[in-house]
Amino acid sequence: MKTDRLIDLLAADAQPVPRDAARRRLTLALLLGLPLAALIVALDYGFRPDLLQVARLPMFWVKVVFPLSIGCAGFVAAQRLARPGVRVGGAAAGLVLPLAALWLLAAAVWLGAPEAERATLLWGQTWRSCAFSIGFISLPALAAAMAALRSLAPTRPMVAGAAAGAFAGGVGAAVYALHCPELAAPFLAVWYVAGIALVMAAGAAAGRWLLRW
């Protein structure tokens, strides 16, 4: 059989991929990953018993909104990178700006605190486990996002995997915040960021192998 004829036969049943396929499949990843992350926290960690009271504090919402912002930016970036030839665009700013805002807030709190209190602001009570807990809680969302991307057509597998990691890490960190006792901005700026970065690195490493054509 001639090559041109073979190509014609293979392409005969090809159908165009819907324009919103990436968005729908990553939304499904969110719908799978978010409740599983919440289940991990509920079973292995426990939600804060004073959640209703602490929710009145502004820093609690900083702790939740920051990772959610990263997760949203990662979602948009992964959605764009799932299609060949599409640039990340403004999603990159969506990753950088919340990080810069948190670091500025942390620097202001750090510089304004008495020197004797700075160690507590940075290390808190849970620094040893925070980043790894975020990574563990993020695993369901990361696995679901990688499966979604694998069914699409990313041409930059490591970058797409890192975007999936930002999405999953943001989701995991936001859910972990419902358990975490820490509220200091310097703690969040180091250990929450480290946890999300850990998931992004895992996503990039997995993407190198799982998302190659």
To which residue do tokens 């290390």 refer?
Answer: 123
Q: What is the pLDDT of residues 13-52, one digit of tens each?
A: 444 556 678 899 999 999 999 999 999 999 999 999 999 9
Average pLDDT of the residues in 55-69: 97
pLDDT higher than 90, residue 8 = no
Q: What is the mean pLDDT of residues 66-93?
A: 91
More confident residue, 211 or 213: 211
pLDDT at 9 over 80: no
Q: Angle, nearest 10°, between helix axes 157-176 and 21-40? A: 40
For 146-181, the pLDDT digits (tens) are 999 998 989 899 999 999 999 999 999 999 999 999
Residue-wise pLDDT for 102-125, tens only, equals 999 999 999 999 999 999 999 999
